[in-house]
A and B are shown apart, each in its own frame.
Chain A
Amino acid sequence: MKLRLTADMLVDEVLERVETLSGQKLRACYQCGRCSAGCPVVEEMDIIPSEVIRLLQLGQVDEVLSSKTIWICASCLQCASRCPKGVEFSSICDALRAIVLRTRLATPKIDADGLTRVMMSDAPQMGVVGALRKLNG
């Protein structure tokens, strides 16, 4: 993967927004990878949690906003529970989704029309409400 880094990329308006919205310090992460190791849905992600944070540290916001990863996180908070630096990756995902939904800098990767009839008639209400709340930024 090629990265072009310039000083102004490291001080980015969107990055500051991620930190404010998530309440997390991106630079606290020292890349130990425990979030990625503990994540139960990491196999489905196109960018693993610790990489997402690294890309943000390097100012690569666009790549992260258009990733599948931020829509796959189920907010189970295993990452937060295991992070030695107290970073909640799930909150960063929530913040990134909120930015996508509020600014349309990327396309939401969730399809409310794709809900199957079986799912709607059999799944617990909490599941349907929870899934659709991902579209609520």
Chain B
Amino acid sequence: MKIPYYPGCTLHERARDFDDSARECAMALGVELEELPVWTCCGAVYPLVTDSVMDILAGVRNLSYASRLGDKVVTLCSFCYNVLKRCNNVMRDDAEKREKVNLFLRADTESREKIESYTLEDYEGQLEVLHYIEMLRDVVGYDKVASAVTKRLEGLKVAPYYGCMLLRPKKEMKFDDPEQPTIFENLLEVLGCDVVDFPMKTECCGGFQVVNDEELAVSCSQNIVVSALKREADIIVTTCPLCRYNLDRHQERMAERVDGFTSVPVIYFTQLLGVALGIDKEHLDFTDNSVDPINVLAEKSLL
């Protein structure tokens, strides 16, 4: 089964480990992620001002490309998922903006024809924008994931960290409950993990504010990591490259600020899924982590 896949700029560059592990896992589950032949950055942030049209253009352009391949598009990065889903909602529900954006798409096509044959079609919000976890649950099925598990992650205490962008705003994202989500926990249970519930699982990691104010992001991330540690998590899993960066890269600084701090590895959920599916660790690429996850996984005889 082929499903159109939008990787986004970060998975194409600094989060190759996320992209690679997701593709390997999908293949093991009988799904081929078909990368869009043409795509651009989605813009990373959905504009919250009501008169913004230009700012959703990048997102819609990608949706238009994806609509040529099928009726769904799958993505992994929480920011991309948020932007694509909200752009899709606008194109489906707001006739005035839809018309304006489609005028841009047509102008885009006219100016591009000379350099590539890929034309942009008018877009009406017809796609179903899925997060990879939703694909596992609704397209593949958690029961099929369960039967593909070759190494149950028994005894591994895993804290699922959602962050903000998958969940909020609830009425648009319709991903799960914004305060008490369970979709991630349900997946981890299928893999045999000992799921750790912790109160900061939907709290913001500081996000892109790290770029302007690193201390701010360290404080936000510290609250999350310490909360997971208090519940004795062996490992934290995330769905977002920026969350991974904030939670993982700043642990030395957290250790300076918090008495008795012990470091905890932070990995992508697809890397953990890969371990459970018996995929070779070389393909799961644990090389970009500041806090090495190999030891923890090896201690539990999982690698």
Binding site for B on A (CB under 8 A): 20-23, 40-41, 43-44, 71-72, 74-78, 80-81, 88, 90-91, 93-95, 98, 110-111, 114-115, 119, 122-133, 136-137
Residue of A nearest to B54 (CB): A136
In the complex, A122 Cα to B210 Cα: how many Å? 12
Nearest 4 Cβ contacts at the A-B interface = A130-B208, A76-B204, A131-B211, A94-B48
In the complex, A69 Cα to B74 Cα: how many Å? 35
In the complex the two chains form, is A40's CB within 8 Å of B223's CB? yes
Interface: B190 (CB within 8 A): no
In the complex, A81 Cα to B175 Cα: how many Å? 14
In the complex the two chains form, is B49's CB within 8 Å of A123's CB? no
Can you add 15 more A-B contacts, CB < 8 Å, to A41-B209, A124-B15, A129-B45?
A: A22-B48, A40-B220, A41-B206, A44-B213, A76-B207, A78-B204, A93-B48, A119-B214, A126-B242, A130-B44, A130-B207, A131-B208, A131-B209, A133-B45, A136-B55
In the complex the two chains form, is A72's CB within 8 Å of B213's CB? yes
Q: A41-B206, A78-B164, A122-B249 are in contact. Are A111 and B212 (CB under 8 A)?
A: yes
Residue of B nearest to A39 (CB): B204
Q: A21-B49, A41-B220 are in contact. Are A77 and B164 (CB under 8 A)?
A: yes
Instruction: Give every chain B residue within 8 A of A93 (Cβ-Cβ).
Output: 48
Interface: B282 (CB within 8 A): no
Which of the listed residues B13, B164, B212 has the most CB atoms from chain A within 10 Å of its own CB? B212
Q: Which of B35-68 contact A (CB under 8 A)?
A: 41, 43-45, 47-51, 55
Instruction: Give every chain B residue within 8 A of A98 (Cβ-Cβ).
Output: 49
Instruction: Give every chain B residue within 8 A of A21 (Cβ-Cβ).
Output: 49-51
Q: Which of B170-229 contact A (CB under 8 A)?
A: 170, 178-179, 202-204, 206-214, 216, 219-220, 223
Which of the listed residues A71, A81, A123 has the most CB atoms from chain B within 10 Å of its own CB? A123
Instruction: Give every chain A residue within 8 A of B51 (Cβ-Cβ).
Output: 20-21
Q: Distance (Å) between the CB of B227 and the closest chain A CB?
A: 12
- Over the window 1-14 of chain B, the binary record of Cβ atoms lying under 8 Å from chain A Cβ atoms (1 yes, 0 no) is 00000001110011
* Candidates B14, B169, B204; contact of A124 at CB < 8 Å: B14
Q: Distance (Å) between the CB of B55 and the closest chain A CB?
A: 7
Interface: B137 (CB within 8 A): no
Interface: B274 (CB within 8 A): no
Residue of A nearest to B246 (CB): A127
In the complex the two chains form, is B245's CB within 8 Å of A123's CB? yes
In the complex, A131 Cα to B9 Cα: how many Å? 15
In the complex the two chains form, is A75's CB within 8 Å of B45's CB? yes
User: Interface of chain B, helix or strand or loop or mixed?
Assistant: loop
Instruction: Give every chain B residue within 8 A of A81 (Cβ-Cβ).
Output: 167-170, 178-179
Interface: B77 (CB within 8 A): yes
In the complex the two chains form, is A95's CB within 8 Å of B10's CB? no
- Over the window 227-249 of chain B, the binary record of Cβ atoms lying under 8 Å from chain A Cβ atoms (1 yes, 0 no) is 00000000000000110010001
In the complex the two chains form, is A72's CB within 8 Å of B216's CB? yes
Q: Distance (Å) between the CB of B109 and the closest chain A CB?
A: 24
Instruction: Give every chain B residue within 8 A of A77 (Cβ-Cβ).
Output: 164, 168-169
In the complex, A111 Cα to B211 Cα: how many Å? 10
In the complex the two chains form, is B45's CB within 8 Å of A91's CB? no
In the complex the two chains form, is A126's CB within 8 Å of B204's CB? no
Q: Distance (Å) between the CB of B155 and the closest chain A CB?
A: 31
A-B contact pairs, 24 of them (CB 8 A): A21-B50, A40-B203, A40-B223, A41-B206, A41-B209, A44-B213, A71-B212, A74-B204, A77-B169, A80-B168, A81-B168, A81-B170, A88-B169, A91-B48, A94-B49, A95-B49, A111-B212, A114-B212, A124-B14, A125-B14, A126-B9, A126-B10, A130-B44, A131-B210
* Candidates B9, B170, B208, B241; contact of A74 at CB < 8 Å: B208
Instruction: Give every chain A residue within 8 A of B168 (Cβ-Cβ).
Output: 76-78, 80-81
- Over the window 154-173 of chain B, the binary record of Cβ atoms lying under 8 Å from chain A Cβ atoms (1 yes, 0 no) is 00000000001001111000
